[in-house]
Amino acid sequence: DAGVIQSPRHEVTEMGQEVTLRCKPISGHNSLFWYRQTMMRGLELLIYFNNNVPIDDSGMPEDRFSAKMPNASFSTLKIQPSEPRDSAVYFCASSLQKNTGELFFGEGSRLTVL
Amino acid sequence: EDQVTQSPEALRLQEGESSSLNCSYTVSGLRGLFWYRQDPGKGPEFLFTLYSAGEEKEKERLKATLTKKESFLHITAPKPEDSATYLCAVGDKIIFGKGTRLHILP
């Protein structure tokens, strides 16, 4: 199995630009999570989906952030417009059984907003 | 609101020097406490799930234990390859602590 696949691995953009991060979960997994990691705040949950439906988006910082999961094999996290404080590593994770706590993480997308 | 506090923030040990990492939590109805390992530049990797006080799980040199208020990750005779950040998480939404950066000196 290829694991959770994220793209791009690195993104450098200028303030005000739109950023789209992509995630392909492990086939057969029914839960998908988006996290953001910074030194100051650690690993923060942004949103999670169950069977392609957003269950909790209370961690999404503001309206500039949006996430979609159009089908079981693809999700996007979009930031529009981006700001320097959005600079972080964004992780996608998927799970077969969420209540086991066993999430499989991708390698992350490192975003730098200048 | 579910909260997780890990200590210490960083720990340096000599190879073979055993120690413990702490994870204190507050959660409305524990449905599991989870430990992960994260290597630099990588995503976290799942280690253990503990469901109830008194439960223990082991994997190689790592042993995780759980009480009603906290969990410990005991590292016995660590090796340099055990160097990583160790994260714990709790709750239905799987909320993570900030982690303990562990460095094992050869």
A58, with CB counted inside 10 A (0-12, 13-18, 19+), is: exposed
Q: Is it the case that residue A1 has pLDDT exceeding 70?
A: no
Q: What is the mean pLDDT of chain B?
A: 94
Q: Would you call the peptide bond into A84 cis, given omega within 30 degrees of 0 as the criterion?
A: no
Beta bridge partner(s), residue A23: A6, A75
DSSP strand pairing (B56-59 vs B95-96): unpaired
- Tally C-beta pairs within 8 A across A and B: 53
pLDDT digit string (tens) for B21-65? Answer: 999 998 887 788 999 999 999 999 999 999 999 999 999 999 999
Q: Would you call the peptide bond into A81 cis, given omega within 30 degrees of 0 as the criterion?
A: yes
Give A27's pLDDT tier (boundaries 50, 70, 90): very high
Q: Is it the case that residue A109 has pLDDT exceeding 90?
A: yes
* A56 at interface of B, judged by CB pairs closer than 8 A: yes
Residue contact A100–B94, C-beta within 8 A:
no
Question: Which chain A residue has its CA at the smallest distance from B90's CA?
Answer: A101
